[in-house]
Amino acid sequence: MIEKHIVLEDIDPVIFYGKNNSNIQMIKALFPKLRIVARGNVIKVMGEEEEMCAFEEVILSLEQYCVRHNFLNEESILEIIKGNKSDNSEQNHNVIVYSVTGKPITPRSPNQQKLVKEFEKNDMIFAIGPAGSGKTYTAIALAVRALKNKEIKKIILSRPAVEAGEKLGFLPGDMKDKIDPYLQPLYDALQDMIPAAKLKEYMELNIIQIAPLAFMRGRTLNDAVVILDEAQNTTTQQIKMFLTRMGMNTKMIVTGDMTQIDLPSSQTSGLVEALRILKGVKGISFIELDKKDIVRHRLVTRIVEAYEKYEEKRREESRKKQTEK
């Protein structure tokens, strides 16, 4: 009789063991010849070597399934042990990652699909589009997939700390409390894709880092997916500083919406200039999303269209005034 300790490294043990430990109880029932004790993220097993080897194979398969789907139940356990559960089906072909509820997150428009494909081919991507077009959410899903697949060692998410048309004044608390309101949309996306306990662990270990753009200065970012969100609110100096942080085995995704520039009117958006300067540079891909890609409430599409018509009318009136002069 031998004893082994199996460590569950990449998953939340609470999800793996199941509600009221239902999953681990089923696993014990399927291996009655083994003595199995689960504590925290360690499973201690005692038994004969042949039975132990079969048990380890099953645990590895279940762990891989749990990492990918953020989900495990008794039905899944039975299917995996029988060898009927496969992630290679056509149905799962377009899945980027799975949400914390086990729901597949897939590109939902042609331009989102293009973003996924370009991420595989290029190291730097600019994704430009209106609110709700899924550019940030898709980018974060791609980063989470790369981390789960161990293609990178960390995810770094950043955005400029610029108020959207209102002055927030002096915020209370320490540095984290002051910057969190600016970065909340990034937290929201991560919380959709990574179980809470695992996300907390990743952030404590700096595997996932969320910081204002100003904190990027002086760093070289290696083995990472780095996302700059709301890039339309960067200055020329800021976006140049950010883009030149790129290190080895790093991919960068820059997202922005040209219709939501919150900089003072005297400042030029760094994103506008970057798109002009970097056009044609090998290894950089540019994806333009539009109102057809909007995946929020249908009213969002109508709002975007209404503002586009209004802006077009203003430009037309401005051209007429210039002609009359």
What is the tens place of the pLDDT at every residue in 28-67? Answer: 999 999 999 999 889 999 999 888 888 999 999 999 899 8
Report angle CA 157, 177, 140 to the nearest 5 degrees. 20
Of 303 and 33, the structure prediction assigns the larger pLDDT to: 33
78-82, 93-97, 170-174, 188-192 — which is least confidently predicted? 170-174
pLDDT at 155 over 60: yes
What is the predicted pLDDT for the residue at 176?
59
State the pLDDT confidence band at 323, using cuts at 50, 70 and 90.
confident
pLDDT at 163 over 50: no
pLDDT at 300 over 50: yes
What is the predicted pLDDT for the residue at 228?
94
State the pLDDT confidence band at 270, using cuts at 50, 70 and 90.
very high
Inter-axis angle of helices 270-278 and 236-243, nearest 10: 50
What is the predicted pLDDT for the residue at 296?
64
User: How much is the pTM?
Assistant: 0.77
What is the predicted pLDDT for the residue at 185?
81
pLDDT at 241 over 90: yes
